[in-house]
Amino acid sequence: MSTIQDFTGYKPTWCSGCGNWGIGMAIKQTLVQLGLTPSDIAVVFGIGCSGNMNDFLNAYTIHSLHGRAIPNAIGIKLANHKLPVICVVGDGDCYGEGGNHLLHACRGNHDITVIVHDNRVYGLTTGQVAPTAQKGYQSKSTPAGIIEVPVNPLVLALTSGATFIAQAFAADAVQMATIIKAGIEHRGFSLINILQPCVTFNKVNTYQYYLQRSYKLEKNYQKDDFRSALNKSLELLEEKFPLGVIYQVKKPTYTESLPQIKEKPLVEKERFRDFEKIVKDFI
């Protein structure tokens, strides 16, 4: 049985009060609850304050490129679809630079869990505007206010084919852990958008801001109904934030649909075990 300590890496360098602390703890709690050890899971990080968790979490990790966590995660999953694979990324990373990868991962129902730290800014590079920021939001990169309308990640994922869509709040570690666990257990593509206050660079979308505008989904909410999920996701237009699993349906995953690896993962196939030979074949 593993413990939080087993998953603990270096001491985080996040600002005090940053929502990332809660998210980091919820991820570790989930991995313990799932009975995993650090070598049972692959975690792919993007670049950002969120991506710096690469050093703070002890597991098999890749600190990839900005916007490129998802294709790395898909690659790992294709090589070994028995392994749980999660991505930890920022909103700039996943909805901006890597937006294209998100769309196609949803379309393929790739069995990965994407956890997005949605702080509406580029935190690591000191507060430029990110794609989820509200129109008119003033930042050092948009002193007169952002001109573009915000990306709605929930609608984007839903209409692109994701089979699990959830939203959580960085101040509620218990609900976050429940949702992350459900996302990892879900077979198929899961997007978990976490509302994460950036206490240093975003003075608008604060803890208070989200506390006043968020609510937990009703107990009788039908998460397998596409129209209900669409309506819930559209509430972002009014800055209302439903928290919980907004959509979940069962559909074949990408690897389940791929005849070549139906019978066993690529890594277990004899001819892929001889790494020296594969390298020789290519050079």
Ligand X SMILES: Cc1ncc(C[n+]2csc(CCOP(=O)(O)OP(=O)(O)O)c2C)c(N)n1
- State the residues that interact with ligand X by CB under 6 A: 46-50, 65-66, 90-93, 97, 117, 119, 121-125, 130
Task: Specify the long-range contacts of residues 27-31, CB closer than 8 Å, at least 24 apart.
Answer: 27/53, 27/57, 27/86, 27/88, 27/115, 27/180, 28/4, 28/57, 29/4, 29/173, 29/177, 30/177, 30/180, 30/181, 30/184, 31/2, 31/7, 31/59
Any idea what DSSP says for residue 226? Answer: H
Handedness of CA 104, 45, 1, 192 (dihedral sign): negative
Least distance CB 25 / ligand X (angstroms): 16
The residue among 65 and 217 lying less far from ligand X, judged by its C-beta, is: 65
Least distance CB 64 / ligand X (angstroms): 10
The residue among 12 and 244 lying less far from ligand X, judged by its C-beta, is: 12
The residue among 170 and 182 lying less far from ligand X, judged by its C-beta, is: 170
Least distance CB 99 / ligand X (angstroms): 11
Contact criterion met (CB below 8 Å) for 62 and 72: yes
Least distance CB 57 / ligand X (angstroms): 14
Least distance CB 189 / ligand X (angstroms): 19
The residue among 78 and 154 lying less far from ligand X, judged by its C-beta, is: 154
The residue among 65 and 266 lying less far from ligand X, judged by its C-beta, is: 65
User: In the structure encoding, which two tokens stand for residue 2, read together?
Assistant: 């593993």
88: helix, strand or coil = strand
Report the C-alpha gap between 223 and 127 in whole angstroms: 35
Residue nearest to ligand X (CB): 90
- Measure Cα distances from 163 to 56, 130, 190, 193, 201 in Å: 29, 25, 6, 14, 33
Report the C-alpha gap between 182 and 248 in whole angstroms: 10
Least distance CB 71 / ligand X (angstroms): 13
The residue among 63 and 181 lying less far from ligand X, judged by its C-beta, is: 63
